[in-house]
Amino acid sequence: MATKHDYYEVLGLSREASEAEIKKSYRRLARSHHPDANPNDPGAEERFKELTEAYEVLSNADSRRAYDTYGHQVPRGGGAGGYPGGGEQFGGFEDIFEAFFGDRSSFGSSFFGSGSRGPSRGGDVEVEVDISLREAAFGTEREVNVQVVKNCSVCDGVGGTESHTCGTCGGAGAVRSVRESILGQMVTTQPCSACGGRGRIIDVSCENCRGSGRISEIETRNLRIPEGIEDGMRLRVSGAGHVGEAGAPSGDLYVTIKVSEDEDLMRDGEDLVHRLTVNVVEAALGTEREIPTLNGASEVRIEPGTQPGATLRLRGEGMPRLRRRGRGDLKVVVDVLVPTRLSEEQRELLEKFDAASGHETYNGTGGSFFDRLRGVFR
Ligand SMILES: [Zn+2]
Ligand SMILES: [Zn+2]
């Protein structure tokens, strides 16, 4: 084992540090050195363990006193490694995290896993659902098939069709051992090895799950997708993930929504954008055109002298606002087509038109092209 650092140094504290200072310092350091926060740093786990060990020792008045007296050379109990700071107060890193940060899931489960005591929560499941823009606008329902690990329905998760209460743990699934040490009485709780933590001894193994108590099956769920949902948003169905260990909750189901692009309508937040092309003559003389909206076709009037990039706003014809009242707007952006292939006759007509035109023909076009476009996208 490498040389141990001084616990006070590890936590950046003086030997006079108060309980609150120890807690505060550990909390701050544990956050920044947590392995899940430093996925590319192989040393992070080691540092984190060192921090936690230091905290376990210094946060307990008895073990702190022993450390102050003996340093790292304090006589050990029979435990596998390090300080006997465990027991009920500290079931492991995981419990410390839960006590401090409330939500262990925000740190993922990669770091805490096999080593942690106590039943662990079931894993989360993720699926993706593709919907159209119109379905996003009006809301929709979808059936999703999710592969999940569940309790075997034949044996109720016990693993056997006939079983009896474990005599070693009395059905609790865990055993407590009390040990005398220099630091006083240490109480440790560990999963019962006789029954594997289940609390029951199997007499006749279940054939359906081959004694595991778990089966993986495809579950069909009907999902309600709310109106106004945006591409990439995730819905959470609480408890619809993998089943947890006995006494622990199931994981969650996360549904990522993919909204496919629409040919006619482009989404811009709660607004929609439609590109309307008119030719140069229609733009100059004005016209009426039909445009697609979420609620069917709608007429718009193109005023004489409409410029490229001009935008018509149809109030309330956009997307519904998610969890709010009302809807965004439909912005119709006018694109003006300029002729590219002219016959001899057309060319002559245009030349005649140009000869008859002056500066005033193009007056009052209202701002630059870019100013007009800027109004479209916020
Ligand atoms: Zn079974
Ligand atoms: Zn047992």
Q: Is the dihedral of CA 343, 346, 351, 352 positive or negative?
A: positive
Q: Which ligand is nearest to the CA of 213?
A: 1
Look at residues 237, 224, 215 and name the one whose alpha carbon lies nearest to residue 148.
215
The confidence band for 112, taking pLDDT boundaries of 50, 70 and 90, is very low
Q: Are strands 174-181 and 184-191 parallel, antiparallel or unpaired?
A: antiparallel
What does pLDDT average to over the chain? 81
Q: Which DSSP helix (H) or strand (E) runs through 55? A: helix 44-58
User: Which tens digit of pLDDT belongs to each residue from 117-129?
Assistant: 567 889 999 999 9
Q: Which ligand is nearest to the CA of 205?
A: 1
Look at residues 209, 170, 160 and name the one whose alpha carbon lies nearest to residue 192.
170
The percentage of the chain sitting over the pLDDT mark of 90, rounded to a whole number, equals 40
User: Which tens digit of pLDDT belongs to each residue from 264-283?
Assistant: 999 998 999 999 999 999 99
Q: Which ligand is nearest to the CA of 172?
A: 2
Task: Give the C-alpha separation, 366 to 364, whole Å.
Answer: 5
Read off φ and ψ for residue 21, nearest 5 degrees: -65, -40
Provide the residue count of the chain.
378
Q: Which ligand is nearest to the CA of 191?
A: 2
The percentage of the chain sitting over the pLDDT mark of 70, rounded to a whole number, equals 84
pLDDT of residue 364: 65
Residue 29 predicted with pLDDT over 70: yes
pLDDT of residue 311: 93
Look at residues 365, 266, 261, 375 and name the one whose alpha carbon lies nearest to residue 312.
375
User: Which tens digit of pLDDT belongs to each residue from 55-87?
Assistant: 888 888 888 887 787 777 654 433 333 333 333
Look at residues 333, 192, 195, 213 and name the one whose alpha carbon lies nearest to residue 274.
333
Q: How far is the CA of 166 from the centre of ligand 2 (A)?
A: 5
Residue 356 predicted with pLDDT over 90: yes
If one compares 222 and 31, the residue with the highest pLDDT of the two is 222
Is the Cβ–Cβ distance between 100 and 27 less than 8 Å? yes
What mean pLDDT do residues 49-59 have? Answer: 86
Q: Name the residue type at position 279.
A: N
Q: How far is the CA of 191 from the centre of ligand 2 (A)?
A: 8
Residue ranges of domains in the chain, CATH in brackets:
7-107 (1.10.287.110), 120-153+216-260 (2.60.260.20), 160-205 (no CATH), 266-374 (2.60.260.20)
Q: How far is the CA of 116 from the centre of ligand 2 (A)?
A: 18
